[in-house]
A and B are shown apart, each in its own frame.
Chain A
């Protein structure tokens, strides 16, 4: 079963981390990531640039409307994701918990995939 672990956090807080704090978090996450990858359970992983770099295409009208910024104005922003291949929800939550220990604050949304095309297919 494929799950997406969607990472949410306050962008302003993450931006206020010092370089050392950022490196500390990234280093800890990397260790978890490598372990899951070695077990053959990891799909694509991405950290997104800040929402200020985002553009939104509203397609509920014709022609679609292009808007600067992220889709939703929220207190916590969508900042990145992991795709994992696991047996069940418990295992997905276990990985999320482990990633959470490496990365304080914010939330992970653990969500099963309906359709999955790995790169290049």
Chain B
């Protein structure tokens, strides 16, 4: 049994490359997936006996291609190809063929496979579901459970999404530099979505969705290995690692979110932080700042602080100001105001967030933070009504519970004031 688990890891690691090569060969996602599945079944039969091949991806591409061709030929009543029991002994010959099949294309192949999952017509959750199903090979059941929908509903959604990407006819020619850069940006955004579907979960959902974050990290590492010199991909991977490093401290025993400043930092994963910080350093050398790099830089400043009180808020303010400049958004200004509150007090921060009220009128965190600022300033009545608006906008029980703690505190204090 143990051996099967290791073979499974080899199959998982080979999946993106194998499916994307088969997709280029057959130009049909369903055929590519079936060919890969069939190759995996044969791997599970032959690898335990013959030992795993030196290059699992090459083996799977070779066998998968032959299986699918064989089926096509059988339908045409032509002669079958030799089966993989003989082929698997070919050793280097098999990887040579796969190499020719695969060649230097695999970089663009894998990028294409990821890119078809980010079709702009697909809603975010469908992009995520499609990537997890096709690229990562998570089961429909696993994805359905994580999204709290029935298995057949998820199956339907994925089938519809697949039909949509097939109709979009993503070209199979090698992309030019501009097109490649566009694909890379779209794929980066999609991978960050996958990551956040895992990262933002709390309560009972958190466990079911943790594999999403881990998958996103694995695929982004793969992407960076293919595009080693892209500072934004370094930034994205760094950002994911620095955030995921806190996973063990983010939720309390009841699955409620623990704020960054209250987290037990000894539970942060030091290895992930080291890798994340190394990637930020590498990216900075390129002097081509982008949103992921800057967000990774901000996460890095938090990671370097041994205690919340030692956080370099001045550096965070500078980084948010840069982010505001290249990607203006009220949410970023709101985040910058958190740094301002630490550096210059609640009054300065309130002045910064008040103009944002119209554009963030549906945003939970805006009212949560504004209420907190008002509370700091002793404007309890306004704080109370602002917290009420936050609760009305809370997306989860734990968000609402967090605000309710503030309200309870306000009520206790006003009760004490009345009593005193």
Contact = CB atoms under 8 A, between A and B. Distances in A.
Interface in A35-82: 49-53, 55, 66-69, 75
B218 A51 contact: no
A17 B279 CA distance: 22
B13 A55 contact: no
Contact of B55 (A15, A18, A21, A75): A75
Interface in A1-30: 10-13, 15-18, 21
Main secondary structure on chain B at its contact with chain A? helix
B56 A53 contact: no
B10 A53 contact: no
Interface of A: 10-13, 15-18, 21, 49-53, 55, 66-69, 75, 104-105
A15 B275 contact: no
A50 B278 CA distance: 11
Given A52-B237, A52-B279, A21 B221 contact: no
Contact of B9 (A21, A53, A75): A21
B225 A10 contact: no
Contacts of A18: 5, 9
A66 B279 CA distance: 15
Interface string B52-80: 10111000000000000000000000000
B224 interface: yes
Interface centre among A10, A51, A66 (most CB of B within 10 A): A10
Size band of the B side of the interface?
20 to 34
A105 B228 contact: no
A88 B187 CA distance: 52
B229 interface: yes
Given A13-B10, A15-B218, A21-B9, A52 B52 contact: no
Contacts of B5: 18, 21
A73 to B, nearest CB: 9
B218 A49 contact: no
A53 B228 contact: no
A11 B218 CA distance: 11
Contacts of B218: 15-16
A13 B55 contact: no
A75 B229 CA distance: 19
B225 A75 contact: no
Q: What are the 4 A-B residue pairs with the smallest beta carbon separation, nearest first?
A: A16-B13, A69-B228, A12-B13, A16-B12
25 contacts: A12-B13, A12-B14, A13-B13, A13-B56, A15-B221, A16-B9, A16-B10, A21-B9, A49-B271, A49-B275, A50-B275, A52-B221, A52-B234, A52-B237, A53-B275, A53-B278, A53-B279, A53-B282, A55-B282, A66-B285, A67-B228, A67-B229, A68-B228, A68-B229, A105-B52
Given A21-B5, A53-B278, A10 B13 contact: yes
Nearest to A50: B221
Given A16-B218, A21-B5, A75-B54, A52 B225 contact: yes
